[in-house]
Amino acid sequence: MSPDSPQGQGSPKPHVKALNCPKCGASITLRALGQGVSVVCESCHSILDTKDQQLQILQTFEKITSSDPPLIPLGTRGKIRGTDYEVIGFERRAIVVDYESYHWHEYVLFNPYKGFRYLTEYQGHWNDVANCKELPSVDPRLSTPYGANYLGEIYKHFQTAEAKTEFVLGEFPWEVRVGESARLTDYIHPPRVLSCEQTSKEITWSIGEYVYGRDIWSAFRLGGNPPPSVGIYENEPSPFSANLTAVWMGFAAFTIALLAIMIGFSLSATNQPVFQSNYQFNRGESGGEVSFVTDTFELGGRTSDVEVTTSASLRNQWIYLNYALINQDSGEAWDFGREVSYYSGYDSDGSWSEGSNTDSVVVPTVPPGKYYLRIEPESDPRHSTLSYSVAVRRDVPVASFYGIGFLALLLPAILITWCSASFERSRWSESDHPPARIFKTESE
């Protein structure tokens, strides 16, 4: 492949020339005259030597791609990285892995002042490819399993395979042949791919960058929509991996902020005791009605929560209390029931216990005012007398919100990490180092 030729640095200025195919007589347009090496007749598919004035026939081949035409027609012009290029060549190549053939397409782009550039397409995945400006270095110590260093960036080896050219069309800056083979080695650092193409005559390094089909369609002003991409390509940028560090840093920052909020509210909460009283529940004495009301108590400050704590001395007993926190003036009430139970014993597994002698409930968003509690106790009829106490506190911090907040922050970060790992697993499953073998290779 020819290196880029900047303007005014001595390269002969290319120009367009129309010729006829020496085999079939069809007209042939040489778009990169002076820089192209071979051209393929679009009519009879003879590969012609453009260096020869008579367009010597280098090879002829049967047209085998009628059902696989170029997605970007030859002669189409488009803007890549701010430079106008014309599509002058097209080839289809294939590799065979595990007896399965994988095909992709390559387009040769040409600009008279910038030289050649290439586009590759595989199942809707596109790469913008150019020749390397420097020779990359391959060092087994660079990465596992081994990698290449190009301009200070480490690329991981992805795949090595024998590629065969199946079909060619248009002009090429090298002596193209159908059936020719090259050993292709790809190293990746998404969204870039470093490719080494080795033949018996030469070794060529190129650097590619993943491009979305919609951007190619837009650059070349093509009609319709690009073919949808299938699967995950070797250097396709992961939408998750690029954000992973930022998301975890965000999680750390949010957790610190959550702690600050917790400390702030814990310090500022009044947690003020407003009522406390002890009671005895005697089923025998109550006659019929067991409900009663407490003295009124003042809930001050702004609208906030109220904690009602019930404590009872229980031994294999339960007590259930129907509570109503009632605003003496407005008649607004919060109705709730709480059970306090405690059981213990001893069996073949040893001693056991369940339940608790204390229960707390938080009544939400209670405006300031004068309140009282209506309490209606119930208990096991077998136990006649039960002692219990009721305590009320105003503006109590609720720890469970911090736990929920922490989980709400943590779960998306875990989900994004899982998606990222899944994306990378899919990517590497198509490589010479599928995930199941990576660890084995690392330990070797």
Partner 1 sequence: MIRKIYLIYGLTVLGAVGVAQYRGWSLDSMNQLKNVPKSVRDNPGSYRSVYSSYHHYTGGK
Residues numbered 212 to 251 that lie near partner 1 (CB under 8 A) are 239-240, 243, 246-247, 250-251
Residue 361 interacts with partner 1 (CB under 8 A)? yes
CB nearer partner 1, residue 141 or residue 302: 302
- Taking CB under 8 A as the criterion, the residue among 395, 423, 428, 431 binding partner 1 is 395
374 binds partner 1 (CB under 8 A): yes
Out of 100, 134, 289, 444, point to the residue binding partner 1 (CB under 8 A). Answer: 289
Taking the C-alpha atoms of residue 146 and residue 156, their distance in angstroms, rounded to an integer, is 6
Tell me the HSE value of 151 on the side-chain side, using a 13 A CA sphere.
10
Interface with partner 1 includes 365 (CB under 8 A)?
yes
**Closest CB to partner 1 among residues 16, 399:** 399
Can residue 298 be called a binding residue for partner 1 (CB under 8 A)? no
The residue range among 37-45, 117-125, 346-354, 435-443 that interacts with partner 1, by the rule CB under 8 A, is: 346-354
Specify the residue, 243 or 356, whose C-beta has the smaller distance to partner 1: 243
362 belongs to the binding site for partner 1 (CB under 8 A):
yes
Is 279 a binder of partner 1 (CB under 8 A)?
no
Identity of the amino acid at 233 = Y
For residues 411-440, which are near partner 1 according to CB under 8 A? 412-413, 416
Using rule CB under 8 A, residue 271 touches partner 1: no
Contact pick of 237, 405, 417, 426 for partner 1 (by CB under 8 A) = 405
Contacts of 188 (CB under 8 A, 6+ apart): 155, 156, 158, 194, 234, 235
Binding stretches for partner 1 (CB under 8 A): 239-240, 243, 246-247, 250-251, 253-254, 257-258, 261, 265, 269, 289, 291-293, 303-306, 316, 318, 320, 322-324, 326, 328, 331-337, 339, 341, 343, 345, 347, 352, 354, 361-366, 372, 374, 376, 378, 380, 395, 397-398, 400-402, 404-405, 408-409, 412-413, 416
